[in-house]
Structure 1
Amino acid sequence: MSHSIIPPTPALVLVVDDQPRNLQMLKASLMREGFRVVVAGSGEEALEMLERQQPDLMLLDVMMPGMDGFDVCAKVKSNPATRDIPVIFLTGETQLQSIKKGFEVGGVDYVTKPFNRQEMVARVNTHVELRRAQIRHTATLMEQTRLINIIAQHWLKPLQRLVFLTSQTRNICRSGTNGGEANAGAFAMEAEATAVQMLSSLEDFLHESPGMMTNGRSQPGSITTDDLKAIIENWYVTAIRRQLDFQVMTPPIPVSIAASAFTATQILDPILANAVKAAREQGRISARVRHVGGEVVVEVEDDGPGFSREYLKRPFQANVRATGGSRERQHLGIGLALAKRAADRISAQLELDNLGTGGALVRVTFSTASPRSKQND
């Protein structure tokens, strides 16, 4: 999974205290450590600010006129939009009862007055990092759940197809009819292709799941346009079985691409599978690989019915179905949804369009890479 290195946005801290001197001192100390800081002079003002922006953390004074810190914290924690913001109490009291109440209303820590600057900054840093780690963990779980849902949908029809094919093969073998051996062989070949499709989607899931990868992160490999040609030409036999004119054009001199063979296959296989299914009987498919500037562009065209208007309005959605065309075309969103996920991992561009002469066009744009960066998957 290729990620660009982008410095994280400095954490935003909301400091709430009714003493201007404390606000000034805390703001200056935190800003020197690289934090962004906003201040509020009362509990009421702090709650109003939370309606406009959410900080990564709150430093909240306990003793304030009007709403005290405990009341403010209780309001913050009762609001689903703000309840996950960590609150550190600022207190001049060290009595156990006051500290206990702070934890009861939802505080995560406390700093006593007069402030020890190093202690205060250390506590802020700790809870900001914990909060950001929690956000990353939640995002990872949501993404894995979404991927599992796509995989489940992607596997439903192949599993049904496998059950049908194995059942037909068993019946043919039992009947012993003339020509049964050839039919059984054809069914077995289709069953194998279906199993390979399911294995591919499982590998994609394992590749996406950080906890299931061997080294905790994946490395961006490097392949060439010749490797892309090989991936595309794997579909030649399938196309020929449908009597399709299958043409592949690539640059005469290989060009290195910033992608692994695994990821390139995850992108191109669903595209070519859709093209083969959509093309007219005895129709055509063309795949062009071009080197344009600092990019390699792959364009796959077929002469089928093209993408439906509904799907082009919401492309790459796994649940979108076309209103016309063959049954297979109605489910094209599942495969292309996985292709889009693979493309996003390496910052490749995936675009869909219909041809003016009829048929569909899918374009993938890869970034080029130095041949020296080529790695094994």
Structure 2
Amino acid sequence: MSSIPPDREDFKILIVDDTPANVEVLQKTLEVEGYNISVALSGEKALTIASRFMPDLILLDIMMEGMDGYETCRRLKADPKTTGTPVIFISARNDIEDVVEGFNQGGVDYIVKPFKSGEVLARVKTHLQLHSLKKQREALIQELEKKNEDLVSLNEIKNKFLGIAAHDIRNPLSSIKGFVELLELSGESFSQKEHDEMLQLVGKSVNEVLGMVDDLLDISVIESGNLKLDLGPGDLTALLKERIQINSGHARGKDISINEDFHDIEPIVFDRGRMAQVLDNLISNAIKYSPLGSSVFIELRQEDGWTHVRVRDEGQGIRPEDQEQIFRGFQKLGARPTGGEKSTGLGLAIVKNIVESHQGKIGVYSEVGKGSTFEVALPNLEMPDYRF
């Protein structure tokens, strides 16, 4: 077994000296302690090796042919890659002016030749520990700065969420309150038909609020990392037909036709409830953003190991700059519903997370004035091999 302390094995030291005998003594002294050593026999070579080797400490001679130690140190400190690397000068010069000059050029210590091995090891160990602590402190500061940025971002999202929730939920709640008060005060003066119509409007408003709350709860679950899938082999064709039927009333109300182009496909593995959310969102959005009397086209096919669902509308399309934002939460983009429908702006963010949790992909293809196509691709995988 090695007797090298594990905390020393990862430290890298660059020795810079143009006298091979000096290099050999230093190298043997340090390698016994387990340090990773590299050698440069000139200042010029030191600059090249340092940028590649990325040492934790540099032992630098002053009196060398060509570029001396002072100039080498200046250039090392000017290089962003090595500006923070501690430099210890080792020199036969022992005048106080030489020592001061070494510190002025950026050195952290100065050892006079001939040196003692114990002194070199003690100073090396001390400066490596200080350098390690400095790097840990810098990493901690960066981590704290990142966390602070994340907190600021989360606070902005929270404020945005509160604004959207207050605005979007207030309107249907106000409608519910108004209808209930009207029925309480003048219930007997309404005909049965008028009474039933008001109750239907109340029910519609309640469903709007519930849909918004469901979206908010879903995005909360997804962002907390607690989204769980109940996977099993299923018939996506049957599910797609079911969701089209459920959304057909909305389409009829806007005189929108839904055109199906379904190819025969094999059963695939998916979470039926979550995939119903995906299909509902894509179909309802296509209807929501389509003009009266237009058409929505839904295609289902399998190719190249994937099952594809494409939903195309004839709406106003999505601007290129909005296409980059559309799958992020709390987005209010340029396109607007054509029938006054409400939205939290969370639907497609939820869809994207559900699809990707199935190891699938989702994309949008759109041109302003010519409609949009949303495509979901799910892998054709059998249950035993399906892993997350």
Match of 1:201 in 2: 216
Residues 242-296 of structure 1 deviation map (CA, whole Å, 9 limit, x = unaligned)? 3432344544444314x43455345434323321211222433232221112111
Cα deviation code 1:126-174 (max 9, x no counterpart): xx9x999999989987997787577556634431233223223313322
Contact 2:289 2:336 in 1 (8 A): no
Q: Could you tell me whether the CA contact under 8 Å between 1:310 and 1:320 is conserved in 2?
A: no
CA distance, structure 1, for counterparts of residue 124 and residue 37 of structure 2: 25
- Cα distance in 2 for partners of 1:139, 1:264 equals 34
The whole-number CA distance in structure 1 between the counterparts of 2:246 and 2:144 is 43
1-structure distance, mates of 2:149, 2:36:
30
With over 3 angstroms needed to count, the CA separation of the structure-2 counterparts of 1:144 and 1:354, relative to structure 1, is same
- Superposition map of 1:148-227 within 5 A: 152=162, 155-174=165-184, 175-176=186-187, 177-178=190-191, 179-210=194-225, 213=226, 218=228, 221-224=231-234, 225=236, 226-227=238-239
> By how many angstroms is 1:367 displaced?
1.7
Q: How far apart, CA to CA, are the structure 2 residues paired with 1:139 and 1:345?
A: 27
TM-score by length of 2: 0.58
Distance 1:218 1:313 in 2: 27
Distance 1:370 1:248, change over 3 A: same
Q: Give per-residue Cα distances to partners, 1:275-321, cap 9 Å, x unaligned.
A: 12112224332322211121111111222222235424654455463
Query: How far did 1:357 drift?
Result: 8.9
- Number of residues paired by the alignment? 306
Distance in 1 (CA, whole Å) between partners of 2:254 and 2:230 is: 35
Q: 1:368 to 1:180 in 2, by over 3 A?
A: same
Alignment of 1:247-266 (within 5 A): 247-257=259-269, 259-261=270-272, 263-266=274-277
Moved more, 288-297 or 237-246: 237-246
1:206-225 residue CA offsets vs partner (Å, 9 max, x unmatched): 13313xx3xxx856835532
What amino acid is aligned across from residue 213 of structure 2 in structure 1? Answer: M
Matched, 1:352 2:364: yes
Shift of residue 14 of structure 1? 7.7
Deviation at 1:341, TM superposition (A): 4.1
2: CA distance, partners of 1:323 / 1:304:
9
Where structure 1 has 5 or more consecutive residues not aligned to the other structure, the ranges are 1-12, 30-35, 71-89, 110-127
Report the counterpart of residue 236 of structure 1 in structure 2: 248
* Larger displacement relative to structure 2 (324-333 or 310-319): 324-333
User: Where does residue 277 of structure 1 map in the other structure?
Assistant: 288
Equivalent position to 2:375, from 337, 340, 363:
363
The CA distance in 1 between the partners of 2:275 and 2:154, in whole Å, is 21
C-alpha separation between the residues in 2 aligned to 1:310 and 1:324? 15
Q: How does 1:47-126 map to 2 (within 5 A)?
A: 51=80, 66=103, 67-68=106-107, 92=122, 102=130, 106=134, 108=136
Deviations 1:38-57 (A, max 9, x none): 326378677656x3599xxx
Which secondary structure state, in structure 1, belongs to the residue aligned with residue 177 of structure 2? helix
How far apart in 1 are the matches of 2:82 and 2:232?
42
C-alpha change, 1:356 and 1:206, in structure 2 (3 Å) is closer
CA contact (8 A) 1:162 1:194 kept: yes
SS at match of 1:280: coil
Retained in 1: the 8 A contact 2:365–2:372? Answer: yes
Pairing of 1:316-327 with structure 2 (within 5 A): 316=327, 318-319=330-331, 321-322=333-334, 326=338
CA 372–312 in structure 1, closer or farther in 2 if over 3 Å, else same: same
In structure 2, relative to structure 1, the CA distance for the partners of 1:232 and 1:154 (3 Å cut) is farther
Instruction: Pick 1 or 2: higher relative contact order, CA cutoff 8 A, min separation 6.
Output: 1
The verdict on how the C-alpha distance between 1:94 and 1:189 changes in structure 2, with shifts beyond 3 A counting, is same
Distance 2:37 2:273 in 1: 50
RMSD over aligned Cα, in angstroms?
5.1
| Identity fraction in percent | 12
Alpha carbons 2:325, 2:331 under 8 Å: kept: no
Which consecutive unaligned segments of at least 5 residues does structure 2 have?
A: 1-9, 17-22, 39-51, 60-72, 90-101, 110-119
8 A Cα contact 1:14 1:39, kept in partner: yes
Match of 1:306, SS state, is: coil
Tell whether the 8 Å contact from 1:251 to 1:290 is kept in structure 2 after alignment: yes
CA distance in 2, matches of 1:16, 1:106: 17
Tell me how far apart the structure 1 counterparts of residues 121 and 342 of structure 2 sit (CA, whole Å).
Answer: 63
Quick one: structure 1 residues 323 and 293, their matched pair in 2 at CA, closer, same or farther if it must change by over 3 Å? closer
Q: Which residue is 1:246 aligned to?
A: 258
Letter in 1 for 2:169: L
- Is it true that 1:268 corresponds to 2:269 in the alignment? no
Q: Shift in Å at residue 241 of structure 1?
A: 3.8
CA contact (8 A) 2:300 2:309 kept: yes
TM-score normalized by the length of structure 1: 0.59
For 1:150 and 1:14, locate their aligned partners in 2 and report how far apart those are by CA, in whole Å. 48
Which residue is 2:298 aligned to?
287
Pairwise CA distance, 1:195: 0.8
Indicate yes or no: 2:352 matched with 1:340: yes
